[in-house]
Each structure stands twice: as C-alpha cells, then as structure tokens.
Amino acid sequence: MRSRAISTCRETADVATEDAVRAALARIVDPSSGTDLISADRVRSLSVKDGRVSFVIEVDATRGGAMEPIRQAAEAAVKALDGIESVTAVMTAHSAAGQAPKAPAAKGPIPDLGLKDFTPKPKEPDKPAKLPGVSHVVAISSGKGGVGKSTVSSNLAVALAGRGLRVGLLDADVYGPSQPRMLGISGRPSAAGNTILPLRNHGVTVMSLGLMVEEDEALVWRGPMLMGALQQMLAQVQWGTLDVLLVDLPPGTGDVQMTLCQKTDVAGAVVVSTPQDIALIDARKGIDMFRRMGTPILGLVENMSSFVCDGCGKEHHPFGHGGARADAERLGVPFLGEIPLHLGIRMASDGGAPIVAQKPDSEEAAPFWALADRLIEAGVAR
C-alpha cells in the first residue's frame, strides 16, 4: 500500500499544473514593452489537461508578424515543463482598446448623396492563395443562425468520406464551434513545431477552436482576432492531402466570410436555409456577398423542409415548403435538395455520430448522400 501511494504521488508531481504553465509564460517578455505575457494579460483560453496544453496569445493587430518569435518562445517554455506531452499556442490580433480608425479630413463641402451612393463596395481582394495539398475548399454558409448549417456540414463531410474522398472539415464557426460534439471528437490537438496536428473521426480530418477551449467557455473576440485565428487554422494546420476541405462558417456576412474568400482559393459556397421567409431573406444576403467576393455559388439547400408525424403519418411543413427551391430558381443558382426535420438526425448529431455514419442506409440519411453526389458531379469535391 505504501509503495502504491508513493507511485501515485510521483505521477501527480509529474503532471504540470495551470499555475506552473502560467509561471513559465510569465518568464516570456515582450522586448518592445518589457512586460511578460501574464502581466500584460495577453494569455487567453488556457487549458491544461492530461499533459496537453493549449492557449491563445492576444497581440496588437499591427504587430502580428513581430510577435511570432514570442509565440514560439512561449510554446518552448511550456514544453520544457515536466509532464507536458503537447503544446498548442494560437496567436490572434486585436486592436488596442479605445482606438478606432481615423476618418480622413473632408475636402470641400459634403455633397448631397442619394441612397444608392451608400451601397457598400467590397475592397479589392488580394489574390486568393491555394492551400497546399487541398484540391478544393468549399464554404458552408447560412445567412441566419439556427438553420442547421453545422448539421449539414458534418453529415456532408462524412458522406463525402463515405464516397471514398479524402475530406477535411474546418469548424470556423468560432462563436458556436459545434463540430467536436457532432463528430464525437474530444481532447486537444497536438503540435509539431509551428504546425497544429488536427484530429480525425468518421473518416474526416477536423480542426476547431472548440477543441482548444472548454465547451461552456465563450470566445469574446473582435473581428481582427477572428480573422487571425481563421488564417492560422487554414495555414498552420497539417491538413495533409485532401480532395475537399469543408469550412463551416459562422452565420451572416462578416469578417470570417470575407477573409476566407479574399485570402483562400474557394471553389464555391453552399448556402443552407430553412424554407421560411425570414431565413431566406438572410440566405439571399449571403448569396449576394459571395457573388460580390467573386466566389461561385454551388447551390442552396433547404433544411428542415418537412417532417412526418409519428401519430398520423402525414407530412407536415412547419416552416413552409419550397421557399429555397423558388429562391434558387429566381436567383439563378442550383437547388441542391431538401433535408427533412427528423428526430433521428438531431439525436445522432448530439451523440457524436452523424446520421450518415450511424445509419447510412436510413431514409433520413439519403438527402445527405444525394447532396454529396451533387457536389461530386459538379467537380468541386473530387
């Protein structure tokens, strides 16, 4: 009994604590300010579990490149602690509090402009870069939250993998990163030098910020921080050789969507909506944004299209029916199909095994297989 107790104490001592990690990071000093990372309050989302450490370093947007040696030094300091198996440090940029861009001084009288003159014009984008080893990048988008975009993304990824493709899924929905739960993935990604090693399940290679923070922890980030995290997850993750990388975007038409389209060669976008008018209004805005960014629209998906009542056996349409198909025809984009509102789809996703993986031959899985086949036929997923 005594030897067992001694062994247990030794094992506990060999595991680094959060205090030890913070002490190591407190020794990393930014030469420009003379302040260490902890005193400067630059460390966010620190997680220490089973020898795996992950954290985020917040930096000023203007000093992103200059802070890379600091990030490397922070990783090295934590790796040197006893009991550490892997360290993942993500660097994101933010603007200094209270600072806003200064508007140029007006020259001459302000003209009386009509409303049409205020139509936003997108900034001329840099030439998008192709991700090494990735044949096609496909954005999965929705104008509004709550329409089932992430459920479609996870099932589509598993269906494409089931068709024999090499598939990756980037969970870029930083405010609601649900792919770790939907794909049954837990634990922290490890790192090899400056490269983050993603996790894998159901034949899909997955990276998500949800793997680097606790499930109930909110990411309170501004736009520049989101853009920095997205670019790092694209460029510094070891995706390997992929036929297609699906990017599960946050709802709306914001910084993450624009950054993806401007910086990355995107083969096309799939827009998910429910059939109700309120969701379709925002879906049309999403389609318009992608067109402005020069990104092809692969098509529109109508999710939660209908459900069959267990009691009466009749098909019902709680959100209306056919709205997405009609909008697709009116806007001149492909209609990719209808996905039913089914309890089995929801339970499978909550349980960590999408319905395509759990019941591949079921009626409720069939629309996801059909969606995968349509993308393969379109040539953007093979």
User: What is the DSSP pairing of strand 204-208 with strand 190-192?
Assistant: unpaired
Query: Can you tell me the distance from the alpha carbon of 139 to that of 153, in angstroms, rounded to the nearest whole number?
Result: 9
pLDDT, block means (10 residues), the chain with 382 residues = 39 67 91 86 83 81 72 89 84 50 43 43 65 95 90 96 95 86 87 84 91 70 72 88 95 85 93 92 92 94 85 78 90 94 91 93 94 93 70
Whose tokens are 């989101």? That residue is: 226
Neighbour tally for 13: CB within 10 Å: 11
Q: Does residue 367 fall inside a structural domain?
A: yes
Note whether 223 and 317 are same-domain residues.
yes
Which domain CATH number covers 23?
3.30.300.130
Note whether 142 and 86 are same-domain residues.
no
Note whether 292 and 164 are same-domain residues.
yes
pTM: 0.69
Q: Does residue 35 fall inside a structural domain?
A: yes
3-class state of residue 246 by DSSP = strand
Per-residue pLDDT, 122:
53
The annotation places the binding site at: 143-150
Domain of 21? 2-94
Per-residue pLDDT, 126:
57
The annotation places the binding site for ATP at: 143-150
Q: Does residue 125 fall inside a structural domain?
A: no
Note whether 202 and 300 are same-domain residues.
yes
* Number of separate domains in the chain: 2
C-alpha to C-alpha distances, 52 to 75, 130, 212, 295, nearest whole angstrom: 12, 31, 10, 38
Note whether 159 and 290 are same-domain residues.
yes
Q: Does residue 10 fall inside a structural domain?
A: yes
Note whether 349 and 242 are same-domain residues.
yes
Which domain CATH number covers 248?
3.40.50.300
Q: Does residue 107 fall inside a structural domain?
A: no
Note whether 157 and 50 are same-domain residues.
no
Note whether 87 and 208 are same-domain residues.
no
Per-residue pLDDT, 6:
36
Query: Can you tell me the distance from the alpha carbon of 292 to that of 312, in angstroms, rounded to the nearest whole number?
Result: 46
Q: Does residue 129 fall inside a structural domain?
A: no
Query: Can you tell me the distance from the alpha carbon of 118 to that of 40, in angstroms, rounded to the nearest whole number?
Result: 41
Query: What H or E segment, with its residue span, contains residue 29?
Result: strand 29-30
Q: Does residue 191 fall inside a structural domain?
A: yes
Query: Can you tell me the distance from the alpha carbon of 320 to that of 305, in angstroms, rounded to the nearest whole number?
Result: 7
Query: Can you tell me the distance from the alpha carbon of 326 to that of 324, in angstroms, rounded to the nearest whole number?
Result: 5
Q: Does residue 118 fall inside a structural domain?
A: no
Note whether 89 and 150 are same-domain residues.
no
Note whether 139 and 90 are same-domain residues.
no
